[in-house]
Amino acid sequence: MEEVIHILNIPINNINLKEAVNMVEGFLTKENHYLVFTPNSEMIMMAQEDPEFMHILNSSDLNVPDGIGVVLASRIKGKPLKERVAGFDLMLELIKLSHNKNYKIYLLGAKEDVVEEAKNKLEMKFPGLNIVGYHHGYFNREEEEDIIRSINEKKPDILFVAFGAPKQEKWIYKNKDKLCAKVLMGVGGSFDVISGKKKRAPLIFRRMGLEWFYRLLKEPWRYKRMMSLPKFLIRVIWG
């Protein structure tokens, strides 16, 4: 059994990227559905003020440490995580796995042109990748049941949901028993990056744990959201 480390009452699996992929591959061999989330410092801070979100993150089958803040917090607590496991990296590795083993993928979220372009880019990069369907994330409650029915008709093995946190996690948790996908994973803004609408931080920033700083340089209006990182670390220290 892999170790689980609690950061401000959120369980984080102490695994590296390869181990996370292996764990999800194990999920795909079973008949149940499994929830995969990617808590970062901002999400963990959201959960402190949102009991519903706290419960959902505690109900997942795999929480990977997405964010240098979570890794730093584990070191402060004297229980260091092996490494940061970015949700985007895990998603790409699961797409590679799906390409190699013909697992079926469904993409849900983002704007219509973005998710369509993400699908096209993935199919170009991985010829033969079995993307069985996609749908944008701008739908109302009346349309929701039709979308769920359409997803289930396609019988995907993995459903990637890109609504942003906490909306995507709440949607996944609310509908998990209605969906036939084996693995349901929240992937935030990943479709924007895959489609080319947004650029990911250069590798040097990612390796240094400064992806958040790169985003701040590119999108300075995000500074209020970025303030969650120092607040998070202060709360960990004093918690």
Residues 181-201 pLDDT 10s: 999 999 999 999 999 998 776
Over residues 29-42, the pLDDT tens digits come to 998 999 999 999 99
The pLDDT, as a whole number, for residue 204 is 74
Total number of domains constituting the chain: 1
Listed residue (58, 51, 77) closest to 238, CA to CA: 77
State the average pLDDT for the chain. Answer: 92
Q: Determine what percent of the chain is predicted with pLDDT higher than 70.
A: 89
The pLDDT, as a whole number, for residue 201 is 65
- In the block, tokens 């008949």 appear at 31
Residue 37's domain comprises: 4-238
Q: Which two tokens stand for residue 29?
A: 């061999």
Q: Judge whether residue 123 has pLDDT over 80.
A: yes
Residues 6+ apart with CB under 8 A from 237: 76
Residue 232 sits at φ, ψ, to 5 deg, of -60, -50
Q: Judge whether residue 132 has pLDDT over 60.
A: yes
Banded model confidence at residue 112, pLDDT cuts 50, 70, 90: very high
Over residues 37-64, the pLDDT tens digits come to 999 999 999 999 999 999 999 999 999 9
The pLDDT, as a whole number, for residue 230 is 81
The pLDDT, as a whole number, for residue 210 is 62
- Burial status of residue 47 (CB atoms within 10 A of its CB: 0-12, 13-18, 19 or more): buried
Q: Judge whether residue 7 has pLDDT over 80.
A: yes
Burial letters 168-191, b for 16+ CB under 10 A, else e: bbbbbbebbeebebbbbbbbbbbb
Is residue 221 within 8 Å of 122, Cβ to Cβ?
no
38, β-bridge pairs? none
The pLDDT, as a whole number, for residue 215 is 63
Q: Judge whether residue 1 has pLDDT over 60.
A: no
Torsion of CA 63, 67, 71, 77, to 10 degrees: -80
Is residue 120 within 8 Å of 134, Cβ to Cβ?
no
Over residues 148-181, the pLDDT tens digits come to 999 999 999 999 999 999 999 999 999 999 999 9
